[in-house]
Amino acid sequence: MSKVLIIGAGGVGGVVTHKCAQHPAVFSEIMLASRNEAKCKAIADQLDRPIQTAQVDADDVEALVALIESFQPDVLIHVALPYQDLTIMEACLRTGVPYLDTANYEHPDEAKFEYKEQWAFQDRYKDASNMATLGCGFDPGMTNIYCAYAQKNLFDEIHHIDILDANGGDHGYPFATNFNPEINIREITAKGRYWEKGEWKETPPLAEKRKFEFDGIGEKDIYLLYHEEMESLCQNIKGLERIRFWMTFSDKYITHLKVLENVGMTSIEPIKVGDAEISPLEFLKAVLPDPASLGPRTKGKTNIGIIADGIKDGKRRKVHIYNICDHEQCYAEVQSQAISYTTGVPAVTGAMLMLEGIWKGAGVFNVEQLDPDPFMARIGEMGLPWQVVELDPDHDPLA
Ligand code: NDP
């Protein structure tokens, strides 16, 4: 019987709250807190068991500490924004509450995200015998755990990893982003980056394009991007020579994005409009559809996974490990589309394993550093079944 404190009442926060509520034997008491309590109450109203709600500014460590001390949770799931990672980690450290998040720290004033500041908590979490689990969404999260599972069970050595993230969903709008638009746009207007033989290599934004046939979705254009899970995976998968990340975007999406970029709407630098200082990207976020509103409109599936290429028992081996998730089924279950669903379900599963003492340790962990087997054994029944498909080791599907 445990208490969970969830911070953030957006798309992912809604899924996390629904999923925790589905497991009363593990999460006997739930509190959902966010900047705007009305959003927490709206999610609470969708559930068939009572939960507590609260208002909190997660940029404020003292306010977080006060909330944690009053509710006394056994685990905290942070699904507000990456800007709040450090304040929430600090509050968990001060109160001795285990921490879990789904996205690495992002600097509010700079389009840059990295683990450095979160890894800097390592010694303090160790000394306090507390545990922080970083990046337990889908990517990062499930994709890291697929890599750890492959390393432990399918390979003696992994040489190449390609992470493939396909969204075959259609919401019917000409242009909208599937999760927080600011973070989404900042991610894809950045230079592409991948890691090879110990070095990071850069490509211009969206310059590397391939086609890939996705099970359940069909053939899609995929683009090489930098994505945060590579920062820890290149350190934690031994013998790795190269890791890349690919995401699907439709031509329509890229065209809208290029126009927005060309007219200056994707800049985070504030500009003066009359007497007001406005960041164009913040403004754009305000005029685009709220990602939470896409759920009831979105049809189609996601297919996210990894291709790992390496050696097993002296022979070359290549596998594709992936999950297929259906937007409409997600909406029917938790009133949210698959992007939020595929992020929220791993977060709840990770928090369960921490509460049950199956994932344990003192310090700060990226998920691939924890045992993948109990997670993989449970994630299917939690809503994200997976499969391993053997590929021809001599054929390169991304050539
Ligand atoms: P949303 O923007 O929909 O939700 C964010 C929520 O956090 C909102 O309720 C927002 O409040 C709240 N919030 C923002 N700032 C504060 C603050 N200072 N104090 C308290 N609450 C605050 O985002 P998503 O739900 O789509 O994403 C949530 C997290 O999940 C993000 O960190 C995102 O990067 C991550 N993510 C991870 C993925 C993965 O696979 N690993 C994939 C998708 C998302 P308000 O409603 O007032 O704006």
Question: Model confidence over 172-191: pLDDT tens digits?
Answer: 999 988 766 666 777 777 89
- pLDDT number for residue 122: 98
Q: What is the pLDDT, as a whole number, of residue 267?
A: 85
SS3 282: helix
pLDDT score, position 347: 98
pLDDT of residue 113: 79
- The CA-CA-CA angle for residues 243, 249, 250, to 5°, reads 150
pLDDT of 179 reads 65
Ligand 1 center from residue 194 Cα (angstroms): 26
Residues 6+ apart with CB under 8 A from 311: 155, 156, 157, 159, 317
CATH number at residue 248: 3.30.360.10
The residue ranking higher by pLDDT, 339 or 110, is: 339
Domain around 261: 142-329+383-391
Ligand 1 neighbour 54 (Cβ under 6 A): no
Q: Is residue 221 part of a domain?
A: yes
Residue 334 lies in a domain: no
The arrangement of strands across the sheet holding 27-34 comes to 52-55, 27-34, 2-7, 75-78, 99-101, 131-134, 363-366
Choose between 369 and 291: higher pLDDT: 369
Give the DSSP letter of residue 300.
Answer: S
Q: What is the pLDDT of residues 353-362, one digit of tens each?
A: 999 999 999 9
Question: Rounded distance, CA 85 to CA 99, Å?
Answer: 10
Q: Is residue 268 part of a domain?
A: yes
Ligand 1 contact via 183 beta carbon (within 6 Å):
yes
Q: 262 or 363: whose pLDDT is higher?
A: 363
Tell me: pLDDT of 48 over 90. Answer: yes
What's the chain's length in residues?
A: 399
Query: Is residue 393 classed exposed, middle or buried when 0-12, 13-18 and 19+ CB atoms within 10 A define those classes?
Result: middle
292 within a domain of the structure (yes/no): yes
- Is 279 part of a structural domain of the chain? yes
CA of 389 to the centre of ligand 1 (A): 33
Pocket test for ligand 1, best of 179, 282, 284 (most atoms within 8 A of CB): 179
57 Cα: distance to centroid of ligand 1 (angstroms): 13
Ligand 1 site, residue 85, Cβ cutoff 6 A: no
Q: Does the C-beta of 59 come closer than 6 Å to ligand 1?
A: yes
97 in a structural domain: no
Q: In whole angstroms, what is the distance from residue 347 CA to residue 6 CA?
A: 11
Q: Is residue 156 part of a domain?
A: yes
- The finding on whether 102 has its CB within 6 A of some atom of ligand 1 is yes
Q: Where are the beta strands (DSSP E) in the chain?
A: 2-7, 27-34, 52-55, 75-78, 99-101, 131-134, 157-167, 192-196, 199-203, 209-214, 218-225, 242-248, 271-273, 276-278, 301-312, 315-326, 363-366, 387-391
Pocket test for ligand 1, best of 19, 32, 68, 79 (most atoms within 8 A of CB): 79
Report yes or no on 199 lying in a domain: yes
Q: How many domains does the chain have?
A: 1
